[in-house]
Amino acid sequence: MKVDSKLAGLQRRFAQFLLVREIRQVVAFLRYLFYAVLLRRMKRFVGKDEHLGANTLDYNLGKIGKSLKVDNRIHMLARPVCAVSRIATELAFAKVLSVGPRAEGELLALAGYGFSWQNITGLDLFSYSPRIDVGDMHDMPYPDNTFDAVFCGWTLGYSDDRPQALREMVRVTRPGGLIALGEAFHSRDFDEGTEAHGYELGSKDRINQLDEIVEPIKDSVDEWFFRQNATEEDRIKEITAIVGVFSVRKPGEGASA
């Protein structure tokens, strides 16, 4: 038992190096070369995609390289989640889901915060990684109450049916578990964004405030642990983060832990 405990402690200390951006980038890149290039394990979602905004799959598939180099936004979700005592005291045992990570950068960062690598799962429309499942966030391939925490960062903006995506997140989160949402407030409307990109991208329904995001599942929101909304001053900026962390309430399934 003491040997197992010491080994687990050493693994956690080693994992902390993954919080160093350059180390995380090297590990993510090497794993990408091994699984995507050498083993050719890249897979794409082939199911119905009527809930997805325009060009979602192709755009994000083309951004894998960027995600391998720039993955710092996950910190805006991980830090407040790890400050919640019910997660902080169970980091090594908590099962977590990252929705729409593109590459393994987000998953490696979560490991750096203390979550066990074997308990971290990603879900995206494409994958080369054994830790990232291929699937649609509107119809997740997991049983009810699977995860202790669900991270969904800058992904809902690609959905044309956000209520369904949110209901799926609630479904796969255990009672008392946490959902961490991060989104971008765009000062540009959809047409202006289309002109800037040169093609349509994502949902035409822009996200403005946190309360708008969670309105469809407000009865499942138990306790807020972190809230950050776009202010009036923020509206002059190009993009501002909207972040929220809350626990899940499920009637008839017990109170939050």
Tokens of 185: 């407030």
Cα gap 130→78, rounded to integer Å? 22
- What pLDDT sits at residue 203? 62
| Location of structure tokens 């822009």 | 206
pLDDT in tens, 46-99: 887 788 877 888 888 998 998 888 878 899 999 999 999 999 999 999 999 999
Side chain identity at 145, as an amino acid letter?
N
Q: Is the dihedral of CA 52, 55, 56, 58 positive or negative?
A: positive
Enter the pTM of the model: 0.89
pLDDT in tens, 208-230: 789 989 999 999 999 999 999 87
- What pLDDT sits at residue 257? 46
Regarding predicted confidence, which is higher, 10 or 70?
70
Fold topology of 2-248: Rossmann fold (3.40.50)
Give every CB contact of residue 160 below 8 A, 6+ residues apart in sequence: 50, 51, 52, 53, 203, 204, 205
Side chain identity at 70, as an amino acid letter?
V
Give every CB contact of residue 121 below 8 A, 6+ residues apart in sequence: 95, 96, 97, 98, 131, 132, 133, 147
- What pLDDT sits at residue 3? 45
Other residues' Cβ atoms within 10 Å of the Cβ of residue 64:
18
Share of the chain above pLDDT 70, in %: 83
Pairing, β 239-248 against β 173-186 = antiparallel
pLDDT in tens, 168-197: 999 999 999 999 999 887 666 555 555 555
Judged against a pLDDT cut of 60, whether residue 198 lies above it is answered with: no
Tokens of 79: 């830090």
- What pLDDT sits at residue 247? 98
| Location of structure tokens 């202790």 | 148
Lowest mean pLDDT among 46-50, 114-118, 233-237: 233-237
